[in-house]
Amino acid sequence: MAYDNNHSEFEERVIEVNRVTRVVKGGRRMRFRTLVIIGDKKGRVAVAVAKGGEVPTAVAKAVIQAKKHLQNVLITSAGSLPHEIQASYGASTVLLKPAPEGTSLVSGGSVRTVLELAGYRNVVSKSLGSSNKINCAMATLKALDALIQKETA
């Protein structure tokens, strides 16, 4: 699979690489599962998980998958959120709060990466429940998506 990142408008970050195995008659077959977040820091962001026989293959597949599921997010002029929002995905819950100019991103893990690559500069977040990286990233994306739906409704 040919993959060229030099001409991409998106910044990509590999958050997690896991080695997964399946047991077959002849022994164990190993593959790699990667969690990748891409964004242009101008309001577009996506999260994807993909598996491959080697790490670069898995990353390339995840980036291709993420580009298919890009989401536009709402960013205020202060680089923050218009209002507080909470969303859950699996056992993870993420609470996102707007913050005044100069606060910076106060969050951790995959939540911080999603917000950074989306283009937010001033947000406070709290992760509740499970700290699973995939679920936290998906919960953050779900919250940002719900934010847009509230604003346009």
Q: Domain segments of the chain: what residues?
A: 11-71, 73-152
pLDDT digits (tens, 9 = 90+) for 1-25: 445 555 578 999 999 999 999 999 9
How many whole angstroms separate alpha carbon 49 and alpha carbon 142?
16
Length of the chain: 153
The helix (H) or strand (E) run that includes residue 15 is: strand 11-24
Q: Answer whether CATH 1.10.1200.10 is correct for domain 73-152.
A: no
pLDDT (0 to 100) of residue 1:
42
pLDDT digits (tens, 9 = 90+) for 82-103: 999 999 999 999 999 999 999 9
Asked if the model's pLDDT at residue 109 lies above 60, the reply is: yes
Percent of the residues in the chain that have a pLDDT greater than 70, as a whole number: 92
pTM: predicted TM-score of the whole model, two decimal places: 0.89
Is 36 in contact with 62 (CB distance < 8 Å)?
yes
Of residues 151 and 144, more confidently modeled: 144
pLDDT (0 to 100) of residue 8:
73
Q: What is the mean pLDDT of residues 100-111?
A: 91
Q: Which CATH number fits domain 11-71: 3.40.720.10, 3.30.479.30, 3.30.160.20, 3.40.50.620?
A: 3.30.160.20
Mean of per-residue pLDDT scores for the chain: 90
Strand arrangement, sheet containing 11-24: 11-24, 27-39, 44-52, 71-72
Asked if the model's pLDDT at residue 106 lies above 60, the reply is: yes
pLDDT (0 to 100) of residue 2:
46
Whether 73-152 and 11-71 are alike in CATH topology: the answer is no
In the DSSP assignment, the letter for residue 84 is -
pLDDT (0 to 100) of residue 4:
52
Q: What is the mean pLDDT of residues 118-136?
A: 94
- Which tokens hold the place of 1? 């699979």
**pLDDT grade for 152, boundaries at 50, 70 and 90:** low
**pLDDT grade for 107, boundaries at 50, 70 and 90:** very high
How many whole angstroms separate alpha carbon 60 and alpha carbon 81?
31
Give whole-number Cα distances, 20 to 28, 37, 51, 115, 126, in Å. Answer: 10, 20, 9, 28, 30
